[in-house]
């Protein structure tokens, strides 16, 4: 596996097409979850330069008597550490079990503003069969930055990840 990521220019789809096999290479033969999630964040952040790319993982909170999302590997500014089921874009994605694209975070009721710089967002559920075990969250400083192309490719990358 090459340690250096090859960064490309071109359309968004061309950038994903170049990045995907490189991410596959990074994941190949490595079973450690933290290592893999960390490298996926780094690769996405390096290629696209988004404000924030990271994972929240479903974990038990004994005191609350419920599972919640806990901050995992990420790239970008410091972020909120815990998100409850159904709260914010991430908690809603967990609850609904489907990708959420938010063109303007200010228009999403209950959006959790970890950074005032974030303007648009996409959140992808990480699934083990039907069970959501975490989410991949990507934030942009620009409005309306995410579309079906991001959904398709980010869902593909997410399908390679294991709980």
3-state secondary structure of 47: helix
By CB under 6 A, name the one of 19, 139, 157, 158 that touches ligand SME. Answer: 139
Query: Applying CB under 6 A, does 112 fall inside the site for ligand SME?
Result: yes
By CB under 6 A, name the one of 5, 20, 79, 101 that touches ligand SME. Answer: 79
DSSP E strands, 12-130: 52-61, 66-75, 82-84, 100-102, 120-128
Q: Which stretch binds ligand SME (CB under 6 A): 12-20, 24-32, 110-118, 146-154?
A: 110-118
Query: Applying CB under 6 A, does 114 fall inside the site for ligand SME?
Result: yes
Query: Applying CB under 6 A, does 20 fall inside the site for ligand SME?
Result: no
Show the 3-state SS of 79-100: CCCEEECCCHHHHHHHHHCCCE
CA angle 148, 152, 153 (to 5 degrees): 120
Nearer to ligand SME, 22 or 134 (CB): 134
Nearer to ligand SME, 17 or 34 (CB): 34
């Amino acid at each position: 596996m090459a340690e250096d990521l090859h960064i490309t220019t071109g359309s968004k789809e061309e950038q994903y097409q170049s990045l995907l096999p490189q991410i596959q290479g990074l994941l190949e033969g490595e079973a450690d979850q933290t290592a893999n999630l960390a490298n996926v964040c780094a690769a996405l952040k390096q290629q696209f330069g988004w404000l924030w790319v990271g994972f929240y993982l479903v974990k038990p909170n004994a005191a609350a008597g419920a599972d919640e999302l806990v901050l995992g590997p990420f790239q970008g500014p410091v972020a909120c550490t815990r998100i409850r089921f159904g709260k914010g874009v991430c908690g809603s994605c967990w609850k609904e079990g489907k990708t959420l694209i938010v063109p303007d975070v200010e228009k999403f009721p209950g959006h959790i503003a970890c950074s005032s710089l974030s303007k648009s967002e996409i959140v992808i559920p990480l699934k083990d069969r039907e069970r959501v075990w975490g989410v991949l969250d990507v934030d942009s400083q620009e409005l309306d930055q995410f579309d079906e192309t991001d959904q398709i490719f980010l869902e593909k990358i997410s399908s390679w990840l294991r709980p």
